[in-house]
Amino acid sequence: MPELPEVEVSRLGISPHLQGQQLTKVVARQRQLRWWVPDEVLQQQQQPILAVRRRAKYLLLDLPGGSIILHLGMSGHLKVVPADLVPGKHDHLDLLLANGTALRLNDTRRFGAVLWQAQGEQHPLLAQLGPEPLTADFTAETLIQACQRRGTAIKLVLMDNHVVVGVGNIYANEALFKAGINPQQPARDVSADKLALLCTIVKETLAAAIVQGGTTLRDFSQVDGKPGYFKQELLVYGRGGQPCVNCGTALSEVRLGQRSTVFCPLCQPLLQKN
């Protein structure tokens, strides 16, 4: 599933083509995505697109009466194309613009979503989200407080959208390795200093991934069709059994929360509570 950097790269890619443009019509060739595309989305015609925002892994296209919410799911991606370009098999939805172009959603597996949030309301999917990691709302103190009484593995806490949004599996692996924290360590047993360091590294890792275009996954490409480039610099994710870049020890791979978790047993020792 595309993570926060991939979604932010998509936002940066589509914003110049959409913001300030007139949305003339929404065409849904397949309404059954992860959820049924609501009527309110299809009713948006002749509306200016005021802004293109991101909240966690959701994109929001702000219109006068509310926002169209887009989620890319596991295989979705967006492209700006000529409005008359013949759609492919998995091109499920177009947002037609007055300038003759369209924002096209392609989603092979149909795990993505197109939803509606009325003006002045908050969609239930967005209502309980935690702070954005790249803002001042996510601090060492907020992370320390979230971990104080939790016996859950620190990696799972870091991926909890109530604690901080958008830190998915790839970047949780990477950040914990850089911070020297074993992903299986109970969150309450990680020192405040380590958590402060982790907070900083999460911000740096996500920011670097955005600059480099997101991480190339099998189903992800940028809005211009070019792949992201950050995968070339991944230190642990997808490298189970390979040598650690720091010490040469074979990287261990386990499952946490049903997700692949890779770490160095020497650089990220599992500490015993005193």
Domain tally, the chain? 2
Q: Are 12 and 121 contained in the same domain?
A: yes
Res. 219: pLDDT tops 60: no
Active site includes 2? yes
Q: Are 151 and 251 contained in the same domain?
A: yes
Residue 109 is assigned to a ligand binding site: yes
Active site includes 3? yes
pLDDT at 1: 66
Establish if 134 belongs to a structural domain: no
Res. 190: pLDDT tops 90: yes
Q: Are 201 and 154 contained in the same domain?
A: yes
Domain boundary among 65, 99, 127: 127
Residue 150 is assigned to a ligand binding site: yes
What is the token pair recorded at 175? 């950040």
Q: Are 165 and 117 contained in the same domain?
A: no
**Which residue in the list 3, 6, 8, 174 is annotated as catalytic?**
3
Q: Residues of the chain with pLDDT > 70: what percent?
A: 92
Give the max Cα distance, the chain: 67
Domain boundary among 127, 162, 179: 127
CA angle (145, 53, 222) in 5-degree steps: 105
Establish if 273 belongs to a structural domain: no
Order of strands across the sheet with 76-82? 47-48, 22-28, 91-97, 101-107, 76-82
> If pLDDT is split at 50, 70 and 90, which confidence band does 101 have?
very high
Q: Are 123 and 148 contained in the same domain?
A: no
pLDDT at 23: 98
Residue 90 is assigned to a ligand binding site: yes
Q: Are 79 and 158 contained in the same domain?
A: no
**Which residue in the list 11, 54, 55, 57 is annotated as catalytic?**
57
In terms of DSSP bridges, do strands 76-82 and 101-107 run parallel, antiparallel, or are they unpaired? antiparallel
Q: Are 215 and 103 contained in the same domain?
A: no
Domain with 103, as residue range(s), is 4-127
Res. 6: pLDDT tops 70: yes
Establish if 268 belongs to a structural domain: no
The CATH number of the domain holding residue 26 is: 3.20.190.10
Domain boundary among 97, 127, 157: 127
Res. 89: pLDDT tops 60: yes
Active site includes 8? no
- Cβ–Cβ < 8 Å for 230, 217: no
- Cβ–Cβ < 8 Å for 223, 78: yes
> Can you tell me the mean pLDDT for 3-12?
89
Q: Are 241 and 198 contained in the same domain?
A: yes
pTM comes to 0.88
Phi-psi map region of 213: left, alpha, beta (phi>0 left; psi -120 to 50 alpha): left
Q: Are 9 and 123 contained in the same domain?
A: yes
pLDDT at 233: 77
Res. 259: pLDDT tops 80: yes
The CATH number of the domain holding residue 203 is: 1.10.8.50
Active site includes 233? no
Q: Are 159 and 100 contained in the same domain?
A: no
Q: Are 82 and 11 contained in the same domain?
A: yes
